[in-house]
Amino acid sequence: MYHSIYKSSLFEGQVIIVTGGGSGIGRCTAHELASLGAQVIIAGRNIDKLEKVAAEIQSDGHQCDFYSLDIRDSNAIKTTLQSILKTHQRIDGLVNNAGGQFPSKLENISDNGWDAVIRNNLNGGFYMMREVYNLFMKEHGGAIVNIVASVAHGMPHMGHTGAARAGMINLTQTAALEWVHSGVRVNAVAPGSVASSGMETYPEDFKEKLKLRKHQVPMKRQATEAEISSAIVYLLSDGASYITGHTMDVDGGLPLAKENWPVPEHNKCTPYEGFHLYKAPTF
Q: Which stretch of 50-64, 174-188, 235-249, 253-267 has the lowest confidence by average pLDDT? A: 253-267
pTM: 0.94
Domain that holds residue 224: 15-252
User: Does residue 133 lie in a domain region?
Assistant: yes
User: Does residue 245 lie in a domain region?
Assistant: yes
How many CB atoms neighbour CB 104 within 10 A? Answer: 18
Please give the biggest Cα pair distance in the chain. Answer: 58
Secondary structure (3-state) at 104: strand
Integer Cα distance of 159 and 119 in angstroms = 14
User: Does residue 193 lie in a domain region?
Assistant: yes
Integer Cα distance of 211 and 215 in angstroms = 9
Q: At what angle do helices 74-88 and 124-132 cross, to 10 degrees?
A: 40
Integer Cα distance of 220 and 213 in angstroms = 9
Report the helix count and the strand count for the chain, using DSSP H and E.
Answer: 9, 7
Q: How many domains does the chain have?
A: 1
**Are residues 18 and 43 in contact, defined by beta-carbon separation less than 8 angstroms?**
yes
Secondary structure (3-state) at 250: strand
| Average pLDDT over the chain, rounded to an integer | 93
Q: Which amino acid type is present at position 234?
A: Y
User: Does residue 276 lie in a domain region?
Assistant: no
User: Does residue 241 lie in a domain region?
Assistant: yes
Share of the chain above pLDDT 90, in %: 80
User: Does residue 9 lie in a domain region?
Assistant: no
End-to-end CA distance of the chain: 26
Q: Which stretch of 110-114, 148-152, 175-179, 189-193 has the lowest confidence by average pLDDT? A: 148-152
User: Does residue 188 lie in a domain region?
Assistant: yes
Residue 183, Ramachandran bin (φ over 0: left; ψ between -120 and 50: alpha; else beta): left
Tell me 270's DSSP state.
Answer: P
When pLDDT is averaged across residues 216-230 and rounded to a whole number, the result is 95
Residue 147, domain CATH: 3.40.50.720
**Are residues 66 and 51 in contact, defined by beta-carbon separation less than 8 angstroms?**
yes
Instruction: Please say if the pLDDT value at position 203 is more than 80.
Output: no
- pLDDT, tens digit, 9 for 90 and up, residues 21-79: 999 999 999 999 999 999 999 999 999 999 999 999 999 999 999 999 999 999 999 99
Integer Cα distance of 142 and 30 in angstroms = 17
pLDDT computed for residue 103 by the predictor: 84
Integer Cα distance of 272 and 223 in angstroms = 8
Report which of 93, 151, 156, 148 is spatially closest to residue 124, judged by C-alpha positions.
Answer: 148
Dihedral sign from CA coordinates of 47, 48, 52, 58: positive
